[in-house]
Structure formats: structure tokens, C-alpha cells
Amino acid sequence: MGNNKKVPFGDLGAYLQNELSEGTVKNYLYEIEKFKKHYRNPEKITYQNLMEYVEYLRKSYTPQSVKRTVYAIKKYYDYLVNNGKIKTNIAGNIRIKDGKENPIQLQELLTEKELQKLLEPRKERYPILEKRNQIIISLLVNQALLVGDIERLRIEDLDLKEAKIRIQKTGITNERILELKAEQILLFYQYLQEERAKLETFRTEKGNYFLLGKLGTKITSDDINYLVSTYQKGFTKKITSVKIRQSVIKLKLDQGENLRKVQYFAGHKHADTTEKYKETGIDALQTAINQFHPLAF
């Protein structure tokens, strides 16, 4: 039978799958299809038409949903440019500034000590997945990757000789090349030589994905999120992949790293996204009070 996986909406779906997770692709395709029904000939509309569509969305969508839809439309026009159907992406400069995202709860993020605790070796239910799971946690803690970044990693994205890893761009993050820690290099090499070879089956796709599941297929976002949830025991703070990422970004800024360098590290497209992790003097004081002198009620 071979690979039964179908790419929805043909070439467009395949184009999106090069950069986005399967769940995101489905969401984007849904929004793009609605957009194409609203405008019968989207290749010929103007920037003004796009802004009118944004206003239309605001009447029934939350600010976050509007932003997600705009990201989807941008990717659709990227696709049209890539295929030579239009010359420029007329949606490229749209930025939705209203309805700011939920503020990052800085006082709830993990400390450096708590992040290091996640890296401590532990006994796994399935020994064959031990190194793979250590790799996932190491990528979250050391490189602050998104779950989708980890899911899409391919073997060719690794350069173990140079201790580098390439993270593909997505609709919300830039491509970047990050350094690997010394202990990661050995771990990655051992996984490739031992565990991954054993995990390969007839189900293993030809995409050369780095991290595989028990059945030989590429690891999914659900797999990664479940693994993270198993680390909750022993922590009073809620442990999620997003919180780990946010904690690492904040820690780098707290340690005095340059804002632009941290922006590149995180893959943020805009510096103001990175700045959200910086604490003012008052914020830092409040965090310290909450952490070390919580009020009892």
C-alpha cells in the first residue's frame, strides 16, 4: 500500500507542510479556503481589500484568531509568489497590533535550577526511547525550541562536527542556526547509531526525520507534549513545552545577553516579541517577592 498520507488541497498543502506542523497546516488551509470563498479571485485583490477582510474577521474572531488567519493568508500569498502567479506578497506588511497576546507570567516561569532538573537522567518505561527522550528535553532546555521545530527536524539539519543545528523557518519564527552543547553531540550521535536504527520500520517515511516514535514514524507534537507532561511530578509549577521555552528566553535576558542575539536565538520575527521577556526594575522586585516571600492568605 505504501504511504497513505494525503496532502490536503494538493500543492498548497505540500508547500505548507515543508515549514509547518500537520495541525497548523490543517488550520491554515481551513482559513485560506474561507478567504478564497470570500474573494473569488484572491490573486487580483488589493492591500485595501485585505484590510477590509481583517475588519470583517474582527467582528466574529478573537484577536488571536485574527492574527492566526493573517499568518495563514501571508503563507498563501508566499505560495502564489513561489509559483510565479503573483510578483509580490501584498499581505507581507500586515501587522495586527490590537488585542495584545496574553502577557507572559514571568513570575511563573522556571528558574535555571528547575530547568537543569529537567535534564537529569531518569528511567524510561521503554528503554529504546531513553536517548530520544533525553534529546527532546535537551532541545527544549538548551535551544528553547518549539514543539513543531522538534517535530520537523531532519538528520540533514544536524552538523555534529561543527556542533550546529539548523531550525527551519515557520509562519511565526525565522530560520536560525544554533550551537549544540558538548553533551548533546554525544547523545545525538549515540541515538543515530543505536536507537534510531532499531526504531526504523517499514512505516518510516523517506523524509529522513531525526526523531522517531515506537512504530518507526516521525514523532508528533502530541508525543512531545505527552513526554513533557510526564516530568510534572516533582514540580509545583506547571510544566509545558511553551513554559520551558519562555523560561530559557527570559533567563538569557536576565543574564545580560544582547536583545538581538536572544531574538535570533528564539527565532522571533520582531524584537518587541523578545522584549516581552525583559523585566523592569519593579517587575523584577515583584517576581522576587512572589518567589521568595509569598503572601499567605
Indicate if the pLDDT at residue 3 is higher than 60: no
What pLDDT does 278 receive? Answer: 78
What pLDDT does 215 receive? Answer: 82
Indicate if the pLDDT at residue 286 is higher than 70: no
* Low-confidence winner among 7-21, 97-111, 228-242, 255-269 (lowest mean pLDDT): 97-111
Indicate if the pLDDT at residue 5 is higher than 70: no
Look-up: residue for cell 562536527?
A: 161
CB 241 within 8 A of CB 224: yes
To the nearest whole percent, how much of the chain has pLDDT over 70? Answer: 88
Q: How confident is the model at residue 284 (pLDDT cuts 50, 70, 90)?
A: very low
* Calpha distance 145→21 (Å, rounded): 14
What pLDDT does 277 receive? Answer: 85
* Calpha distance 163→194 (Å, rounded): 20
* Calpha distance 164→85 (Å, rounded): 36
Q: What is the mean pLDDT of residues 144-155?
A: 93
- Chain mean pLDDT for the chain: 84
What pLDDT does 63 receive? Answer: 80
Q: Is the pTM of this model over 0.75?
A: no
Indicate if the pLDDT at residue 74 is higher than 50: yes
Nearest-10 crossing angle of helices 10-17, 63-82: 110
Shortest CA distance to 11 belongs to which of 93, 94, 87, 84? 84
What pLDDT does 7 receive? Answer: 43
CB 151 within 8 A of CB 138: no
The CATH class of 10-82 is mainly alpha
Indicate if the pLDDT at residue 295 is higher than 80: no
Q: What is the mean pLDDT of residues 120-140?
A: 92
**Beta pairing partners, 178:** 165
What pLDDT does 249 receive? Answer: 95
Task: Write out the three cell numbers for 224.
Answer: 512531545
Shortest CA distance to 247 belongs to which of 92, 161, 141? 141
Domain extents for the chain?
A: 10-82, 106-288
CB 12 within 8 A of CB 79: yes
Please say whether the structural domain 106-288 has been given the CATH code 3.40.920.10. no
Indicate if the pLDDT at residue 281 is higher than 50: no
